[in-house]
Every structure is written in structure tokens, then in C-alpha cells.
Amino acid sequence: MSERRDQPWVLYALIAANVAMFAVELASGAGLLAPSPKSMIALGASFPPLTLQGEPWRLGSSMFLHFGLVHVALNMLCLYQARAVEGVFGHVGFLVIYLLAGLGGGIASLLVQPGNVVIAGASGAVFGVYGAFAAKLVMHRAQIDPEAWRRTVRSLGSFLLLNAVIGLSVASISLSAHAGGFVVGAAVGAALLAGTGPRRVRRPLLLLVVGLALTAGAVAVMHPEITPTQVAVKRFDEVEHASSVQWNAAIERLRSHELAGAALADVLERDAIAPYRDMRQVLLGVTDLPPRLAPLFHALDDYTAARLSAWGLFVEELREPDPAKKPAMLEEYKLREQAVRAARTAYQDVLHQLN
């Protein structure tokens, strides 16, 4: 056998990259065990309405993001166990297999998963590494000791069967990403092993170019079924962020004594409250609401109503001419802010359950 025995430094680098991105997730507040779908989207997870509508880069970034410590630990353990594969295909070949399999798994998920599911993880890429190894076993069987070949095939088969059972048992696992990554990895591995000629660098790079072109073509022809419901939720996220930025900026002007009273109230009403109120009208106007999403929209309406109630009272306090009434209004404002936080937590819980 002609495998190279130097260190699998590309594999180590990929593990380091995945662990580093998990550290970024933690630093951003995404959560150790179960980060919210919204936080994962913000970090670059794949989400069909975004990935297929101008943000195809999410197919790449989502390969290095994971839904919690267990997710990243299992994927990296499986990748480490396949470290011998880098010696078979070379450093560049191994990297190309990993990247193209990850993209292939992402495309498979977009084809199969529901349009509101957030997708992240290195599973497709990891399964692609095993797929390439399977191609090696098939194409070079005559070069491998029969007993070693049978033992390796049994081990690989057990690994695939175990993951299939787990995937069927856990709803959050994307079997489509596993299968897509495995098939792409096997295809790339077979292409690297076929025939003769320069395989270590030029052939992997050529396959990478072809694979990227095919990925771009697949994204271009795929059209997500974006319903008014999805548009409304996306609109909510955009307006909530923009309004919160405007509100915080105005409050800073109050603290610096740059603006106060009715003048500040006018700014808050125009820049933060009015867009928020308009956005809530959009949500209330959604007519295609499926039963599955009804709890989400009810929670979202409760949250927006609580936010408008709190902000509205604060603006009233700024405009109140009687100083004696202001302390009681500010105390009531604090209570309403507590209701806002509770409503937001309830909304995020429902959103997490849906994903």
C-alpha cells in the first residue's frame, strides 16, 4: 500500500477550527448545551430562506458550527478516528474531500429538510471522510490483506448502522446531511483514486473547482418556498434589532444630558416605537398561519405587545408635565420590562421547540 505516514495535520487543523468556532459560539452567548436557532443563524448557520436568497456562504460557515458541546464533541471524535484517511489521499486531497462533502451534506439538507429548520454541524463533512475511505476499500481491495479488509469493512458498517439508528431516533439529527456527505465523499475519493497521474495536488484542486461550481449551480436552481409566515418572522428579527439599536442610542443621549423630556419622547416614538408598531401590524396580518406555527405567533404577539406597552409608558413618562407622577410611572415601567423579558423567553422557548 502506498499511503503516506506523516502526521494528519489537516485533520488536526480542522478539529482546531471547529473547536475554535465553538468557543466563538460560547463567547457570543449561544449556550453550552442547546444554543437557540436564532443565535446560530446570527453566527452563520444555514437557514433556507437566507441560504437560498443571497447568502449561500452559509453552506460553508454552517460546517464549523454546532448545536452544543455534545454535538461538536461527537463530530470531532468521529473525525479523529478517521485520521488514517489523510494518509491515503494526501493533505490537499483530504481537505478537498472534507469541504466538498460538507457542502454536499448542506445541499442534501436543503433539499430534504423543512424550510424553517436551522442547519449546522460538521456531520456531512465527517461522513464524507468515511465515504472516501469506503471508496478506497472498494477500489483497492486487491491491495489489502483479506482479513484486514473484512475487519475494516465490518467496523465501517457498524459505524454507519449505529449512526443510522441514532439518526432515526433523534429528530434533530439530519440524516440527509449524513447521506449526502457520505455520497459526495465517496465520489470525490473515487475520483482521486482513479487512473494515474498527479493526484496529490492538481487533481484535488481541480475537483474542488468542479465541486464549488456544482454547489453554486445547485443553490442557483433551488428556490425556497418562502411563505408570508417566514417573511413576517424575518421582518420581526430585522425590525426588533433596528428598533433596539435606536432605543439604546436615544437612552444614551438621555444619560449624557444631550436630550430629554418631550424632545426625547419624539425621537423614541419616531425611530423605535413606530417601526415596531408597524411590524406588529404585519404580523397580525399573516393569513397563511399553519396550526404548527400558531403557538409561535401567539408568543411573538405577546412579546411585541409587551414591548410596545413598556416603551409606550416610558414615552408617556417623558411627556408627563407633573413631576409627582413620574416616580410611579417609572416603577410601572420596570414591571412592564419584567413582563417583556418573560414574554421574550417564552417566544424563544417556542422557537427552539419548532427547530
Read off the pLDDT of residues 305-327 as tens digits, 9 standing for 90 and up. 999 999 999 999 988 889 899 89
Q: DSSP H helical segments within the chain, as ranges?
A: 9-27, 37-43, 48-51, 58-61, 69-81, 85-112, 123-139, 146-169, 175-193, 202-221, 228-255, 261-268, 274-284, 294-319, 326-354
Q: Which CATH architecture has domain 9-221?
A: Up-down Bundle (1.20)
Name the residue with higher pLDDT: 231 or 235.
235
Report CA-CA distances (Å) from 164 to 130, 175, 352. 14, 7, 24
Cell 458498517 sits on residue? 157
Q: Are 30 and 40 in contact (CB under 8 A)?
A: yes
CB 205 within 8 A of CB 96: yes
Residues 6+ apart with CB under 8 A from 96: 188, 192, 204, 205, 207, 208, 211
Alpha carbon distance 81, 84 (integer Å): 8
Q: Which residues contact 198 (CB under 8 A, 6 or more apart)?
A: none
Residue 163: the pLDDT is 66
Q: What percent of the chain has pLDDT over 90?
A: 14
Between 85 and 30, whose confidence is greater?
85
Task: Quick: pLDDT tens for 47-57.
Answer: 887 788 778 89
Residue 97, pLDDT score: 93
Find out whether 72 and 19 touch, Cβ atoms under 8 Å.
Answer: yes
pLDDT at 2 (0 to 100): 45
Which one has a higher pLDDT value, 229 or 158?
A: 158
Q: Look at the block and give the residue holding cell 427552539.
A: 352
Residue 24 · residue 42 · CB < 8 Å: no
Residue position matching grid coordinates 418556498? 225
Angle at 127 between CA 92 and CA 88, to 5 degrees: 40
pTM for the model stands at 0.61
Distance CA 4, CA 7 (A): 9
Closest CA to 86 of 121, 123, 124, 133: 133
Q: What value does the mean pLDDT take over residues 142-165? A: 73
Instruction: Break the chain into its structural domains and give their ranges.
Output: 9-221, 228-354
The pLDDT tens digits for 240-296 are 888 888 888 888 888 888 878 888 889 888 888 888 888 777 777 666 566 666 787
Q: Which amino acid, one-letter code, is at 317?
A: E
pLDDT band at residue 123 under the 50/70/90 scheme: confident
Amino acid, single-letter form, for residue 21? M
Is 217 a residue whose pLDDT tops 50? yes
pLDDT over 70 for what percent of the chain? 85
Is the confidence at residue 125, as pLDDT, over 80?
yes
197 has pLDDT over 60: no
Q: Residue 95 — pLDDT band, cuts 50, 70, 90?
A: very high
Once rounded to an integer, what is the mean pLDDT over residues 66-74?
87
- What's CA 244's distance to the chain center, in Å? 23
* pLDDT of residue 355 exceeding 70: no
- Has residue 171 got a pLDDT over 50? no
Distance CA 275, CA 242 (A): 9
The pLDDT score that the predictor gives to residue 262 is: 87
The SS3 call for residue 197 is coil
Burial label for 64, CB within 10 Å (0-12, 13-18, 19+), is buried
Work out the pLDDT band at 198, boundaries 50, 70, 90. very low
pLDDT, residue 13, reads 93
Taking alpha carbons only, the member of 154, 150, 129 closest to residue 141 is: 150
Q: Tell me which of 280 and 96 has the higher pLDDT.
A: 96
Average pLDDT for the chain: 81
Cα gap 169→189, rounded to integer Å: 30
Instruction: With a cut of 90, say whether residue 19 has pLDDT above it.
Output: yes
Residue 223: is its pLDDT beyond 90? no
